[in-house]
Structure 1
């Protein structure tokens, strides 16, 4: 069992739910979050937003996932990201769990 954290811009919510279902993850939680990127070191001319703070509507999913479902989830999200034509991608991280009740 692993703890999975998935973050992305909010517009990918439905796609992520589909990827979770397709990989066999039937139970998960999600929250709307504010994504933040400090672009203060970028030249303002190349910064689309014209400010040093870039915030956007994002979403975070988390779930306890059996190891046998994990590789499929990674593969599906990797394939999804490969098809995107935007800079924003879906991010997936896994965490070891020492004990589980």
Structure 2
């Protein structure tokens, strides 16, 4: 069993839910969050947000997922991110779970 944490901009909420379903993740939790990015060291022309300090409506998902389904989820998210023309992507982190009840 693995714990997955997924972050994305709010506009990708339906896409993430679809990927979770395709990966056979039957239950998960999610919350709206404020994403933040400090782009003060980037030029304004390369900054997707157009300012130095940025907050954006984001979403975070977390779920316990079997090892087999984590691989499916990674593949789905990679495929999704590869198709994106925007700078923003879906991010997935996986944590090992030693015990759960």
Structure 2 regions of 5+ residues with no counterpart? Answer: none
List structure 1 segments (4+ residues) > 6 angstroms apart after TM superposition: none
What CA deviation, in whole Å up to 9, does each residue of 1:12-52 have, x standing for no partner?
00010000000100100000000000112223455465532
Query: What CA distance in whole angstroms lies between the structure 2 residues aligned with 1:71 and 1:34?
Result: 28
Query: What CA distance in whole angstroms lies between the structure 1 residues aligned with 2:58 and 2:27?
Result: 20
Partner of 1:77: 77
Matched residue SS, 2:60: strand
Q: Does 1:32 align with 2:32?
A: yes
Partner of 1:66: 66
Q: How many pairs align?
A: 101
CA RMSD of aligned residues (A): 1.4
Normalising by structure 2, report the TM-score: 0.92
- Equivalent residue runs for 1:1-101 within 5 Å: 1-44=1-44, 46-47=46-47, 49-101=49-101
Contact 2:48 2:87 in 1 (8 A): no
Query: What CA distance in whole angstroms lies between the structure 2 residues aligned with 1:35 and 1:8?
Result: 9
Normalising by structure 1, report the TM-score: 0.92
1:67–1:84 distance in 2 versus 1, CA, 3 Å: same
